[in-house]
A and B are shown apart, each in its own frame.
Chain A
Amino acid sequence: MIGIGETVKISLRALRSNKMRSFLTMLGMIIGVGAVVAMLAIGQGASRKISEQIASMGSNMLLVLPGAQTSGGLRMGMGTQMTLTYDDALAIERECSAVSAVAPSVQGVVQLVYGNQNWSTVVYGTTPGIFEVRDLTMKSGRPLLDQDVRNSTKVCVLGQTVVDNLFGDTDPVGQIIRIKKVPFVVVGVVDERGPNAFGHDQDDVAYIPLTTAQKKILGTKFSGTVRSIGVKAKSADLLDKAEEQITELLKQRHRIGPRGEADFTVRNLTQLMQTAQESSRVMTLLLGAIASVSLLVGGIGIMNIMLVSVTERTREIGIRMAVGARTWDIRFQFLMEALTLALIGGIIGILVGWLTSIWIGRMAGWSIFVSPLAIVLAFSFSALVGIFFGFYPAYKASLMQPVDALRYE
Chain B
Amino acid sequence: MALIETQDIHKIYAMDENPVYALNGVTLSIDKGEFVAIMGPSGSGKSTFMSILGCLDKPTRGTYKLDGIEVDRMTRDELARVRNEKIGFVFQGYNLLSRANALENVELPMIYRGVPASERRKRALEALKIMGLADRAHHLPSQLSGGQQQRVAIARSLVNNAPLLMADEPTGNLDTKTSIEIMELLVRLNEESGITIVLVTHESDIAAFSHRIVRFLDGRVVSDERKG
Chain A contacts to B: CB under 8 angstroms: 1-3, 6, 13-14, 17, 315-316, 318-329, 401-403, 406
Contacts and interface: CB of A to CB of B under 8 A. Distances in A.
Contact of B111 (A2, A17, A322, A403): A2
Contacts of A6: 111
Nearest to A13: B99
A238 B215 CA distance: 96
Contact of B76 (A13, A319, A327, A406): A327
Contacts of B100: 13
A21 to B, nearest CB: 14
A54 to B, nearest CB: 59
Bin chain B's interface residue count. 20 to 34
Contacts of A406: 56, 91, 95
A96 to B, nearest CB: 75
A14 B99 CA distance: 8
A323 B104 CA distance: 13
A329 B112 contact: yes
Nearest to B114: A1
B211 to A, nearest CB: 26
A401 B160 CA distance: 23
A394 B228 CA distance: 52
A206 to B, nearest CB: 75
A323 B112 contact: yes
Nearest to A330: B80
A401 B96 CA distance: 18
A384 B111 CA distance: 28
Given A17-B99, A321-B80, A403-B51, A326 B56 contact: no
Given A321-B80, A323-B84, A323-B156, A403 B112 contact: no
Nearest to B105: A319
B99 A322 contact: no
Given A6-B111, A13-B99, A402-B57, 8 more contacts: A2-B111, A2-B112, A318-B95, A322-B54, A323-B108, A324-B85, A324-B113, A401-B56
A254 B97 CA distance: 93
Interface-central residue, B54, B91, B108, B112, by most chain A CB under 10 Å: B112
A324 B95 contact: no
Contacts of B95: 315, 318-319, 322, 406
A349 B108 CA distance: 35
Contacts of B84: 323-324
A324 B109 contact: yes
A320 B108 contact: yes
B136 interface: no
A403 B57 contact: yes
28 contacts: A1-B114, A2-B112, A2-B114, A6-B111, A315-B95, A318-B95, A319-B95, A319-B97, A319-B108, A321-B56, A322-B83, A322-B95, A323-B84, A323-B89, A323-B108, A323-B156, A324-B84, A324-B85, A324-B112, A324-B113, A325-B112, A326-B76, A326-B112, A327-B77, A402-B57, A403-B51, A403-B56, A406-B91
B109 A323 contact: yes
A109 to B, nearest CB: 78
A320 B112 contact: yes
A2 B109 CA distance: 10
A129 B206 CA distance: 106
A339 B171 CA distance: 40
Interface string B63-95: 000000000000011001101110001010001
A186 to B, nearest CB: 74
Interface-central residue, A316, A322, A401, by most chain B CB under 10 Å: A322
Nearest to A16: B99
Contacts of B83: 321-324, 402
A394 to B, nearest CB: 15
B81 to A, nearest CB: 7
A72 B85 CA distance: 96
A101 to B, nearest CB: 71
B81 A326 contact: yes
A321 B89 CA distance: 11
